[in-house]
Amino acid sequence: MITRIVLSIAIFVIAWGCSPLPRIKETKLMEIENSQTGLKEGEAVDRGFILGVGDEVRITVWRQDDLNRVLRIDPSGKVFYPLVGDIEAAGLSAEELRRIITEGLSDYIDNPQVNVDITSFRNRKIYVLGEVKKPGILVIQDAMNIMDALLNSGGPTRDADQTKIILIRSHPEQIELRSIDIKSLFKTGDKSQMVALQKDDIIYVPPSFIANVDRFFDHLAKIIDPIVEIERGIVLGDEIERIFTGERGRIVISTEE
């Protein structure tokens, strides 16, 4: 029954709101770290919520009321801020935007104290598939992490393997695959597993028992590949298997021509 539901969802997902991009000539594997997170020492675990077109931010500067603004990111991905000018805000986190504004104001104000809050989010979809009680598409209008997504999908089923959840994330010129271990979050407090989700993220919760490995990966590819192939022109079957089997904790694939 779950299989039929998930396959139906995958077909629906393909027809709903996917934006095709040019196919790539080849898939290039970039630097891979063989660890659970795959992040280099000192590298941030997660940038948090990433701003996009249509998002609204409130900018406040301490003791500078005339510089306080509520701005919406325009279709070109920019916002205009006094004394700083046009800023490419789409693709930045709130903290990154704050730093840019702080640096720009430093030419006019001594030690400006800037705060950036996200006040409104554009509609954006994520996919939660596999061993959850309500697999399908979630539309998020607020900051959401992977635990929020699982809870909003009814939670994992009894058959779910919560130590090998697969996250597939699209970036402008690359696709990232990560293995997420939710159990370690509760056992050891590993906050690196509490990933903030972004538009078009795909979360797949695998079963804890797999009777036929080859059949499982063939089934998984039929679910995941159509979504990513239409979105980015890539087939991920082999890379997903490497993530799931623990051969790699994180893989980044270049999608540049």
pLDDT in tens, 22-53: 332 333 333 333 333 333 333 333 456 788 88
Q: How far apart are the C-alpha atoms of 204 and 13, rounded to whole Å? A: 14
Which is nearest to 120 in space by CA: 146, 143, 139, 102? 143
Q: Which pTM was predicted?
A: 0.58
User: Where is average pLDDT lowest: 25-29, 46-50, 182-186, 240-244?
Assistant: 25-29
Contact at 8 Å (CB) between 157 and 30?
A: no
Domains of the chain are: 2-45+123-254 (3.10.560.10), 56-120 (3.30.1950.10)
CA distance 205 to 164: 7
**Separation CA 109–CA 115 (nearest Å):** 15
Look at residue 89 in the predicted model and tell me its pLDDT.
Answer: 95
